[in-house]
């Protein structure tokens, strides 16, 4: 197999949570360009249909399901719907997550804290269980968890440390699942994005313009990432190009965490 062939995903199916917008959508496009059929999950049907229509132009099969993977039950429902297609799922991209609230740690309620952990950690765990088990049975699969540079470091100037804590926990889950499943043919890796100008960050920047300037000043490359720049990393981790890699995190942050 030639080196570029090892990146090809023809004949494979990827389940992408939050594949209708933002980073998930960009990575879904890349996986489809590499040949994968897709199953996209999101809460808003209209956004899913829009993504589906654009992706269908690539000539792949694109299924969409409405589900809230920010709750354990919603995540389980999403997986049941996807498994109901009775197509083997080769790739799981756990992309849904977010900070959502700028709340000081001394003020966060336990209810809020648990909800954010469901969104950033437990939803991904449930998907790993439901989709990972059939992968183990088949002896083959690649799981990619979207963590954040906010896992290993605290982002300056914003509250909501449920985000740092839950993304760090997702990184730890990635490593331990990778160890547990390595001998059973399932690889588990992570991508830790830096700052990308998707909806949530645009909202923060509109609310706190000084925050945008401070972020830019902290990025050695001097710019935010383009969502499409995550696509090749997702294809790499999904495909045989990374066949000897498990438990790893690819950091794509323009150098944010170097200083």
Ligand X SMILES: NC(=O)c1ccc[n+]([C@@H]2O[C@H](COP(=O)([O-])OP(=O)(O)OC[C@H]3O[C@@H](n4cnc5c(N)ncnc54)[C@H](OP(=O)(O)O)[C@@H]3O)[C@@H](O)[C@H]2O)c1
DSSP class of residue 225 equals B
Tell me how long the chain is: 259
Burial of 223 (0-12, 13-18, 19+ CB in 10 A): exposed
**Contact status, residue 253 vs residue 194, Cβ threshold 8 Å:** yes
Say whether 163 is catalytic.
yes
| Residue 45 phi, psi (nearest 5) | -60, -40
Q: Is 181 in the site for ligand X (CB under 6 A)?
A: no
The rounded radius of gyration (Å) of the Cα atoms in the chain is 17
User: From residue 99 to residue 138, what is the string marking binding to ligand X with x (rule CB under 6 A)?
Assistant: ----------------------------------------
Candidate residues 72, 199, 222, 255; the one interacting with ligand X per rule CB under 6 A: 199
Instruction: Say which of 29, 65, 116, 163 is annotated catalytic.
Output: 163
Q: Is 22 in the site for ligand X (CB under 6 A)?
A: yes
Candidate residues 29, 65, 116, 196; the one interacting with ligand X per rule CB under 6 A: 196
Q: Is 20 in the site for ligand X (CB under 6 A)?
A: yes
Residue 226, classed as helix, strand or coil, is: coil
Q: Is 44 in the site for ligand X (CB under 6 A)?
A: yes
**Contact status, residue 126 vs residue 75, Cβ threshold 8 Å:** yes
Q: Is 231 in the site for ligand X (CB under 6 A)?
A: no
Q: Please identify, among the stretches 38-46, 56-64, 129-137, 178-186, the one whose residues bind ligand X according to the rule CB under 6 A.
A: 38-46
CA distance 155 to 245: 28
* Interacting residues with ligand X (CB under 6 A): 17-18, 20-24, 41-44, 47, 68-70, 95-98, 146, 148, 193, 195-196, 198-201
Residues annotated as catalytic (active site), given as ranges = 163
């Amino acid at each position: 197999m030639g080196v570029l062939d090892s990146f090809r995903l023809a004949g494979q199916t990827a389940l992408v949570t939050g594949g209708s917008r933002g980073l998930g959508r960009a990575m879904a496009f890349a996986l489809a360009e590499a040949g994968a059929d897709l199953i996209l999950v999101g809460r808003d049907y209209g956004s899913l249909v829009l993504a589906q229509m654009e992706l269908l132009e690539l000539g792949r099969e694109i299924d969409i399901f409405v589900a809230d993977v920010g709750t354990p039950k919603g995540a389980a429902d999403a997986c049941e719907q996807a498994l109901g297609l009775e197509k083997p799922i080769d790739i799981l991209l756990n992309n849904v997550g977010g900070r959502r609230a700028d709340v000081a740690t001394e003020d966060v309620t336990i209810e809020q804290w648990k909800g954010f952990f469901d969104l950033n950690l437990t939803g991904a765990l449930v998907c790993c269980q439901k989709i990972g088990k059939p992968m183990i049975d088949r002896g083959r699969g690649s799981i990619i968890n979207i963590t954040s540079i906010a896992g290993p470091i605290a982002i300056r100037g914003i509250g909501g440390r449920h985000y740092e804590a839950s993304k760090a926990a997702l990184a730890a889950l990635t490593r331990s699942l990778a160890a547990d499943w390595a001998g059973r043919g399932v690889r588990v890796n992570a991508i830790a994005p830096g700052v990308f100008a998707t909806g949530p960050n645009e909202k923060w920047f509109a609310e706190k313009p000084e925050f945008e300037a401070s972020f830019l000043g902290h990025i050695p490359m001097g710019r935010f990432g383009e969502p499409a720049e995550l696509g090749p990393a997702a294809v790499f981790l999904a495909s045989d190009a990374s066949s000897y890699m498990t438990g790893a995190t690819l950091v794509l942050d323009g150098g944010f965490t170097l200083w």
